[in-house]
Amino acid sequence: MAVYTQLGAEIMASIIDNFDVGELISAKGIAEGVSNSNWLVETRNPGFDASRFILTMYENRVETDDLPFFLGLLDHLAERGCPVPRTIHDRENRPYRFHDGKALALIEFLPGVSVSKPSPAQAHAVGHALAQIHLAAADFTSKRKNSMGLDASRELLNACGEEGLASIDPRLPDIVGHCLPELAAGWPTDLPVSVIHADLFPDNVLMLGDQVSGLIDFYFACNDITAYDVAVTHAAWCFSEDGSQFNSAISEALLAGYEEVRRLEPGERAALPILARGASMRFLATRAYDWMNTPGDALVTRKDPMSFARRVEFYSDDANRAIFEGSAQEGQ
């Protein structure tokens, strides 16, 4: 949540001049993105209204090697009518450029706000949009491995150590120790795969009223089990922030919105509980690792790992299996 690189107006103007978007008239560093710097940029062509863009400078975590995948995916999805921002190519038609050794991209600005307490209607729209990108990405030929899969979660949790996990919460080593082997043993291998967003939290969805105006931040997008993306989105949207309250109306709306566009196969439905445990474990792992490696007095807000431990428990409870069982129509 910071702007890591300071760019003077003259340098910013020369960067923008590499794109055919008119003259720079405003650039404000925005407090978004964890590992890159972002500016809301405004330009003007004589006689036209101002245009707005997000200029992103990739500071570290995003490997430049992956940018053709991430940015190419945005263009691919936007061309097929999905609500994602287009990449603005430079005058030489490159989707990204370098400045001072750092990659940067100019991306279409989309209106919309990120809701913090979604309504069922909003969750329905998000499910709908998620299925849209799953289908629209079917003929996207670039590939990217999921860098945040089960192995990555295990490594992060090992790095925390049992003592470290216990220092966060005494129940945490047990929850992790019980769930990780179960995930490894039961992880599905025969489900449909596709490009997935893999991080579709409310923060990464722009909404205008009940409509999705933009899905953003595709920097974890990869090829993986399609239904895993449904599970990630379910874990991200259907609980109170601390994970203690499940909202069944949101859950039903999200799944119904999804199935309006792409029907879940019976095997995918059946796998959702374990996929949702895996999704919760993935966020538990990064949060636990960040928790232990961020000083308590740092300016960065640490996110509570326990809010995802509670989701792991919820999805492990057989009493909750019914939430993923098909609606009445499914048997018809």
- Give the nearest distance from C-beta 218 to its own copies in angstroms: 18
Counting contacts by CB under 8 A, is residue 261 touching its own copies?
no
CB of residue 1 to its own copies, shortest distance in Å: 7
CB of residue 235 vs its own copies: minimum separation in angstroms?
19
- Among 89, 53, 57, 52, CA closest to 71: 89
CB of 326 to its own copies, least distance (A): 32
Asked if 13 is part of the footprint of its own copies (rule: CB under 8 A), the reply reads yes
Number of residues that bind its own copies (CB under 8 A): 35
| C-beta neighbour count of 92 within 10 angstroms | 7
Residue 238 has which token pair?
């259907």
DSSP codes of every residue in 244-312? --B-HHHHHHHHHHHHHHSPPPHHHHHHHHHHHHHHHHHHHHHHHHHHHHS-TTSSSPPPPTHHHHHHH
Q: Candidates 5, 18, 26, 286: give the one binding its own copies (CB under 8 A).
A: 26
The least distance separating its own copies from the CB of residue 57, rounded to whole angstroms, comes to 13
Number of Cβ within 10 Å of residue 210's Cβ equals 14
Q: Which is nearer to its own copies, 26 or 247 (CB)?
A: 26
Placement of tokens 């599905």 in the chain: 188
Contact letters for its own copies, residues 130-169 (x by CB under 8 A): ----------------------------------------
Please state the closest distance from residue 202 (CB atom) to its own copies, in A.
Answer: 9
Rule CB under 8 A: choose which of 19, 21, 32, 165 binds its own copies: 32
Segment interacting with its own copies (CB under 8 A) among 7-15, 165-173, 188-196, 249-257:
7-15
Distance CA 140, CA 229 (A): 17
249 binds its own copies (CB under 8 A): no
Cβ of residue 304: shortest distance to its own copies, in angstroms? Answer: 15
> What is the torsional sign of CA 322, 316, 187, 130?
positive
Task: List the Cα angle 256/232/153 in 5-degree steps.
Answer: 160
Dig out the tokens for 258 from the structure: 């999804």
State which residue, 227 or 253, has the beta carbon closest to its own copies: 253
Q: Which stretch binds its own copies (CB under 8 A): 89-97, 98-106, 158-166, 297-305?
A: 297-305
| Smallest distance from its own copies to CB 65, Å | 28
What is the rounded CA–CA span in Å between residue 207 and residue 211?
6
* Identity of the residue, 142 or 211, whose beta carbon is nearer to its own copies in the bound complex: 211
d(CA 14, CA 6): 14
- Rounded-to-integer distance, Cα 130 and Cα 83, Å: 10
117 binds its own copies (CB under 8 A): yes
Q: HSE-up of 73 (CA within 13 Å, CB side)?
A: 25
Rg (the chain; Cα; Å) = 21
Residue closer to its own copies, measured from CB, 18 or 320: 18
Q: What are phi and psi of 322, to 5 degrees?
A: -60, -25
- Any contact of residue 126 with its own copies (CB under 8 A)? no
Q: x-or-dash pattern for its own copies, window 203-232, by CB under 8 A?
A: ---xxx------------------------
Site residues, its own copies (CB under 8 A): 1-3, 8-10, 12-13, 24-32, 40, 42, 44, 49-50, 111-117, 206-208, 298-300
